[in-house]
């Protein structure tokens, strides 16, 4: 798994983790945390390959971390604004986040880790991954308007 993250092979990483038994997630989570701490131990300039590796670590966390772990996720495992939306949707569909996906998105917004686009929220709604929540959609519109 570490090789998939470091070589930035996200499609293969997602496929690997989707087929990994639940009993191995504890070891996988430890690897994700350790690798993320190493990647974020110093400033990463824009365009550096480590930015992509950090995104891959985050996607691995989305596939393996529990709800409580995701809701209190350390700042070094945050969504980047240019994470591929299609991959996130694939992960959300696979994990079946259900009713707590809007809560997780609100947490990411509140901590200023990630502000999804309105179009992305509408894509989630059209795929029935979230239902329309005026507070969430309004919050995103207001934050985008002020940024």
**What pLDDT digit, counting tens, does each position of 25-51 carry?**
999 999 988 888 787 776 666 666 677
What tokens does 103 get? 């809560």
Residues 63 and 122 in one domain: no
Residues 75 and 139 in one domain: no
Residues 103 and 92 in one domain: no
Q: Cβ atoms within 10 A of the Cβ of 22, count?
A: 7
Q: Where in the sequence is the domain holding 140, given as residue range(s)?
A: 97-147
Q: Cβ atoms within 10 A of the Cβ of 11, count?
A: 11
**What pLDDT digit, counting tens, does each position of 78-132 carry?**
555 456 788 889 899 998 888 889 988 888 888 877 788 899 999 999 999 999 9
Residues 70 and 135 in one domain: no
Residue 97's pLDDT is 85
Position 23 confidence tier, pLDDT thresholds 50, 70, 90: very high
Tell me which H or E stretch contains 138: helix 134-146
Residue 53's pLDDT is 81
Residues 85 and 135 in one domain: no
Residues 48 and 64 in one domain: yes
Residues 8 and 68 in one domain: yes
Residues 84 and 16 in one domain: yes
Residue 126's pLDDT is 95
Position 18 confidence tier, pLDDT thresholds 50, 70, 90: very high
Residue 122's pLDDT is 95
């Amino acid at each position: 798994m570490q090789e998939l993250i470091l070589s930035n092979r996200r499609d293969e990483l997602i496929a690997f983790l989707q087929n990994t038994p639940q009993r191995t997630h504890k070891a996988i989570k430890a690897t994700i945390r350790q690798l993320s701490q190493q990647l974020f131990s110093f400033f990463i300039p824009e365009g550096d390959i480590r930015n992509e590796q950090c995104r891959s670590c985050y996607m691995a966390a989305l596939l393996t971390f529990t709800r409580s772990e995701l809701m209190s996720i350390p700042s070094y495992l945050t969504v980047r604004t240019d994470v591929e939306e299609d991959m996130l949707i694939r992960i959300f569909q696979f994990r079946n986040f259900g009713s707590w996906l809007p809560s997780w998105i609100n947490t990411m917004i509140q901590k200023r880790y990630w502000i999804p686009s309105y179009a992305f929220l509408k894509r989630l709604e059209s795929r029935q991954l979230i239902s329309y929540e005026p507070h969430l959609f309004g919050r995103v519109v207001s934050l985008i308007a002020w940024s």
